[in-house]
A = this chain, B = another copy of it.
């Protein structure tokens, strides 16, 4: 059974001798309720709604913290900047990314994962993590012109 996000964070904080703050709570709340694949910038704008005084740097720092605490996953797609995804601990998944509208669709495919392991084994390679991204046009964008 998965812990509540707030609880998971405070356990991590106290375990590391770190402190709870209003800002960290605000960032976590915005992050959890916003959904997935947020850039730091996007999250910053969201957090500002509940806490207009929040600083840019604090959002960046807290995002790193959430990643360390296991609450967020850092991902870099081809658009250049880092995005964060909530709660990847309930199983790995990969992404379909629309190059026109930016929509991100998640998927899982056990068979592909197995084949990856086969490839790794043949190369005597021990996999720690992997990344599979399919770039293209989502159904909404296929009919559209540029």
Binding site for B on A (CB under 8 A): 76, 78, 96, 98-99, 105, 107, 109, 111-112, 115-116, 119-120, 123-139, 142
Distance in angstroms between the alpha carbons of A64 and B130 in the assembled complex: 27
Tell me how many chains of this kind the complex includes.
Answer: 2
Cα–Cα, bound, A131→B131 (Å): 8
Contact with A131, one of B115, B116, B119, B135 (Cβ below 8 angstroms): B135
In the bound complex, do residue A130 and residue B125 qualify as a contact, i.e. CB atoms below 8 Å apart?
A: no
A129 partner residues in chain B, CB cutoff 8 A: 134-136
Q: Kindly identify which residue among B76, B98, B105, B134 contacts A116, using a CB–CB cutoff of 8 Å.
A: B134
Partner of A99, one of B105, B109, B128: B128
Measured in the bound complex, the distance between the Cα atoms of B134 and A128 in whole Å is 8
Known: A112-B116, A112-B119, A125-B134. 17 other contacts (CB 8 A): A105-B123, A111-B115, A112-B115, A120-B136, A123-B138, A124-B139, A125-B138, A125-B139, A126-B136, A127-B135, A128-B137, A129-B135, A129-B136, A130-B132, A131-B131, A131-B132, A131-B133
